[in-house]
Amino acid sequence: MESEILFSRKSMFGVTCAEITLNRPGKGNAITMAMIRQLDSILSEIEADRIGDIRAVVIRGQGRFFCTGGDIESWGELSPLEMGRTWILRGIEALSRLAALPQPVIAAITGHALGGGLELALSADLRIAVKSAKLGTPEVTLGMISGWMGVRRLSEIVGVSRARHLTLLGTPITADVALDWGLITAVAEDGEDLERQLNGWLERLCANGPAAMALTKGILATAHTDLREHHATAAGQALATGDCQEGVRAFREKRNPVFRNR
């Protein structure tokens, strides 16, 4: 069976760029625990690049979607403790490692980025999306929360007011609105235009000083405070509610959930 996350190196502009591709197109590239472990392994390989061979990293999704979030079949039956300690902390650790890479990371969003998929994109330094893509955090519609530091990253990127709009309403926004809010840094008309703009960015990044970019990323990273334990506890508490259990049942039964605030 083909790997659910693909990793490749490409020679571009006289140097090497790495590409990470989510490869579950039939499931909207929804993330499983196995994929989190695969991502960890790939990041270890990139981190082991001691000679500065890899100059930039691109993360993308195969098929119609960038990523529709965490696979509900992977977390819907977990206990609150398992949710916090396994699903949430492992996911936060993987996404934090992605964000901490010394190389610039670009999220190439060729389709919808929702829930954990948007959180994955938020771990990148630069984000470009096709015009037809929608971006959002619909977790509250399942009685859950954005558990992989998405709430914090959103507030840092778009401001607290707009983060509230996304996380409390749970309604996705268009790529054009996301650009206006600063959630993404460019919009492409279609896939072909996205690749053209992406290659332009890569050419520029590959021409820059890698040590200078790594140091700059380190300075920017000081804006983040470690809230992993808080997020893990909150996600476990959300999973323990009857509303979240109802949200999971409703999703599986393809109906609207009936929340009773319990």
For residues 148 and 139, what is the distance between their CA atoms, to the nearest angstrom? Answer: 12
5-207 belongs to which homologous superfamily? 2-enoyl-CoA Hydratase; Chain A, domain 1 (3.90.226.10)
Q: What confidence category does residue 13 fall into, taking pLDDT thresholds of 50, 70 and 90?
A: confident
For residues 111 and 218, what is the distance between their CA atoms, to the nearest angstrom? Answer: 30
pLDDT tens track for 161-208: 999 999 999 999 999 999 999 999 999 999 999 999 999 999 999 988
Q: What integer is the mean pLDDT of 38-52?
A: 86
Identify the residue whose tokens are 């989510």: 22
The answer to whether residues 116 and 67 touch, using CB atoms and an 8 Å cutoff, is yes
For the cut 80, the answer to whether the pLDDT of residue 51 exceeds it is: no
Beta bridge partners of 173: 135
Average pLDDT, the chain: 91
Q: What integer is the mean pLDDT of 232-258?
A: 86
CA separation, residue 80 to residues 197, 198, 238 (Å): 43, 40, 8
For residues 253 and 67, what is the distance between their CA atoms, to the nearest angstrom? Answer: 22
Say which amino acid occupies 224: H
- Residue 76 has a pLDDT of 81
pLDDT tens track for 32-42: 999 999 999 99
Residues 6+ away with beta carbon under 8 Å from 43:
94, 97, 98, 101
Residues designated catalytic: 119, 139
Domain boundaries, the chain: 5-207
For the cut 70, the answer to whether the pLDDT of residue 248 exceeds it is: yes
The better pLDDT of the pair 149, 98 is held by 98
In terms of DSSP bridges, do strands 5-12 and 105-109 run parallel, antiparallel, or are they unpaired? unpaired
The answer to whether residues 58 and 103 touch, using CB atoms and an 8 Å cutoff, is no
pLDDT tens track for 57-66: 999 999 999 9
